[in-house]
Amino acid sequence: MKAKIAVLAGDGVGREIVPEAVKVLKIIAEKYGHSFEFVAADIGGQAIDKVGVPLPQDTLALAKQSDAVLLGAVGGPRWEGLEYSLRPERALLGIREALGLYANLRPAKLYSNLVDASTLKREVVEGIDILVIRELTGGIYFGKPKGIEKLPNGEERGVNTEVYTTEEIRRIAKVAFEAARKRRKKVTSVDKANVLESSELWRKVVIDIHASYPDVELGHIYVDNAAMQLVRNPRQFDVLLCNNMFGDILSDEAAMLTGSIGMLPSASIGAKVGLFEPIHGSAPDIAGKNIANPIATISSTAMMLSYAFQLDKEAEAIEQAIVKTLDLGYRTKDIQSPGAKIVGTVEMGEAIVRNLN
């Protein structure tokens, strides 16, 4: 097959981990007879430095004209003083909204040879395989009214609005139930229906959609309890269905069950062009030092092959290469263990490429 892939490395460690993922995709193309065209563009802080905005129109046009988008990370302290609408992170919200990517899939699966890298006890985390499905274009991050306003007494008030429509909930619920059918057939919907009216509607609509999926078990959990249960007994979960903010928070918590946030990929889907990225940020404190873990980004390319191109065999080959590399004892600093071979970003990428071959 032929595919055009927009490569948006972004800022910080994104500029180190994305090239390693591209190397893997090139090997896949060569090995399986595909043709991938890679076209790079700026996003986030890099774009701000060049053209003054975090999401240039040329970058957005490239994304829309591509078959998939590979994204690194955006942001860093050097841009934190900018006016809110011009900060690098606004590019993420903008591109997701512009591409119609309402569903974010974040798997948290613990590789057996990394059990001891987790900060939790082996008996708690061993064997976890969780899929967090996060609604991505609604909720408090997009709801209006929003902003900071002056009050008559001279003080200021910050406002954000948590808002969901029936259709927004319905479509993300369907994604969760469809995903569960391919896994262990269990969905746990996360809300705060005892306090929030938006969550009351969320629960009602999820229950309505569940009627079309009688083969899938449905449970409900309040978000505060979900946070506790993720560290108490994570194996109870299969698919976690979350709104935008709850999914953002809980998926990062789930990441640490696996030993490092540098291990977890994500896929943002819902329309013609999907976006694939690691769930971690730009990590400016380690950027440029060749120590960032590229595995999450490389795993994101596996999700790209599977979800964007239906190349499941090729996706599995990448996952097997990662497992083999870990079995051989290669570790980046964030997942180091006694007796392991501590390697840098480039060395880890090269090792995965060798094992892919």
Q: What domains can you pick out in the chain, each with its CATH number?
A: 1-118+259-356 (3.40.718.10), 122-255 (3.40.718.10)
Whether pLDDT at 199 is above 90: yes
174 flagged as catalytic: no
Q: What's residue 221's pLDDT?
A: 98
Task: Dihedral sign for Cα 198, 203, 206, 208, please.
Answer: negative
Residue reference for tokens 């083969």? 215
Which of 248, 307, 330, 334 is flagged as catalytic? 248
Mean pLDDT of 40-55: 97
Active-site annotation holder among 67, 164, 191, 192: 192
Per residue in 24-34, pLDDT (tens digit) is: 999 999 999 99
141 is catalytic: yes
Report the share of the chain in percent with pLDDT over 90.
Answer: 87
Q: Is 106 annotated as a binding residue?
A: yes
Q: Is 252 a catalytic residue?
A: yes
Per-residue confidence (pLDDT) for residue 82, from 0 to 100: 93
**pLDDT tens, position by position, 228-284:** 999 999 999 999 999 999 999 999 898 888 878 888 899 999 989 999 999 899 999
Q: Is 176 annotated as a binding residue?
A: no
Average pLDDT over residues 57-85: 95
Three-class SS state of 43: coil
Measured from the Cβ of residue 57, the count of other Cβ atoms closer than 10 Å reads 9
- Residue 299: what pLDDT? 97
Q: Which of 141, 213, 307, 330 is catalytic?
A: 141
The answer to whether residue 222 is catalytic is no
Percent of the chain with pLDDT over 70: 100
pTM of the model: 0.88
The answer, yes or no, to whether residue 215 has pLDDT greater than 90, is yes
CA dist list (Å): 278 to 11, 28, 30, 293, 340:
13, 19, 24, 10, 24
Q: How wide is the angle at C-alpha 112 spanned by C-alphas 292 and 280, nearest 5°?
A: 30
Query: What pLDDT score was predicted for residue 117?
Result: 77
pLDDT for 111:
85
**Mean per-residue pLDDT over the chain, rounded:** 95
Q: What's the rounded mean pLDDT across residues 207-215? A: 98
Reported as a single tens digit per residue, the pLDDT across 168-185 is 999 999 999 999 999 999
pLDDT in tens, 137-180: 999 999 999 999 999 999 999 999 999 999 999 999 999 999 99
Tokens of 311: 């190349």
pLDDT at 70 over 80: yes
Q: Is 334 a catalytic residue?
A: no
259 assigned binding-site residue:
no
d(CA 7, CA 22): 8
